[in-house]
């Protein structure tokens, strides 16, 4: 199973406004 | 046969995937506003969001659910979603029957907006989600929210609606766990088929999992 990086989630959590 | 064709093509799937993808973004924005959530490690924030996303979407969709015709009606009839629309997105009655029952029960609690919001926050900050590292920190944040909710009900929610309201709300969280499980089962089934998983959005694939990778 490939390692999950959750890049989109990380980006949405980091950015100031969603 | 046209019904079968419609079902095999899952005509509502792209639309529902967009709607769920948009809702996930709203859930993330909401989580970020919960006191203490941003102080958790990035890994715990991700674990909590991935495990609660579908439950919070089910909770927040109660605001558009109407007992009049058991549909989710957003504004006008142009944005009315019925059970049949969700089956055309690949979900079966094993999910939809208990989901509608859940929506009816939740609607009948007549929650104040404050209670509704606190319930969503409590749902996100569940320390027992698999993979949570700092369970005691998540638990203390959830405890604080539960205290606030109980105080709110005691001080602001008049009887008879307030009777056993907190307990009934906690029961709704238990109901959501089984709805979440059934959703995962059906999602897995759907995402196993490339012709269907290709209609999902990158965010949906990331949050609910991508079986084809």
Q: Taking CB atoms and an 8 Å limit, are B42 and A13 in contact across chains?
A: yes
Q: B64-102: per-residue pLDDT in tens?
A: 999 999 999 987 777 899 999 999 999 999 999 999 999
* Number of residues written out for chain A: 18
Confidence bin at B210 (pLDDT 50/70/90): confident
How many C-beta neighbours within 10 Å does residue B152 have? 17
Residue with tokens 């055309």: B88
Closest residue on chain B to A18 (Cα): B29
**CA–CA dist B95, B74 (Å, integer):** 21
Q: Taking CB atoms and an 8 Å limit, are B203 and A13 in contact across chains?
A: no
* Number of residues written out for chain B: 213
* CB interface of B with A, residues 40-69, below 8 Å: 42, 45-46, 49-50
Farthest-apart Cα atoms in chain A, separation: 32
Which pLDDT score, from 0 to 100, does residue B77 have?
76
The DSSP bridge partners found for residue B66 are: B71
Q: B124-143: per-residue pLDDT in tens?
A: 999 999 999 999 999 999 99
Task: Show residues of chain B in contact with A8, CB under 8 Å.
Answer: 202-203, 206
Q: Taking CB atoms and an 8 Å limit, are B206 and A7 in contact across chains?
A: yes
The answer to whether the CB of B196 falls within 8 A of the CB of B13 is yes
Which pLDDT score, from 0 to 100, does residue A1 have?
46
Closest residue on chain A to B26 (Cα): A18
């Amino acid at each position: 199973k490939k390692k999950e990086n959750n890049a989109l989630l990380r980006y949405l959590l980091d950015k100031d406004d969603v | 046969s046209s019904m079968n064709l419609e079902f095999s093509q899952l005509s509502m799937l792209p639309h529902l995937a967009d709607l769920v993808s948009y809702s996930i973004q709203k859930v993330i924005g909401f989580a970020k506003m919960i006191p203490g959530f941003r102080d958790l490690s990035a890994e715990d924030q991700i674990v909590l969001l991935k495990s609660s996303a579908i439950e919070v979407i089910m909770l927040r969709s109660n605001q558009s659910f109407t007992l009049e015709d058991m549909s989710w009606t957003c504004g006008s009839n142009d944005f009315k979603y019925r059970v049949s629309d969700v089956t055309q997105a690949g979900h079966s009655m094993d999910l939809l029957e208990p989901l509608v029952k859940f929506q009816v029960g939740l609607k009948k609690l007549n929650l104040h907006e404050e209670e509704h919001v606190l319930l969503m926050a409590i749902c996100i900050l569940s320390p027992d989600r698999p993979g949570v590292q700092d369970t005691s920190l998540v638990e203390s944040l959830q405890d604080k929210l539960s205290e606030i909710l109980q105080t709110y009900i005691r001080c602001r929610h008049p009887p008879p609606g307030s009777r056993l309201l907190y307990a009934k709300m906690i029961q709704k969280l238990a109901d959501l766990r089984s709805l979440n499980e059934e959703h995962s089962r059906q999602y897995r089934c759907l995402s196993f088929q490339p012709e269907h998983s290709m209609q999902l959005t990158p965010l949906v694939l990331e949050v609910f999992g991508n079986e084809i990778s």
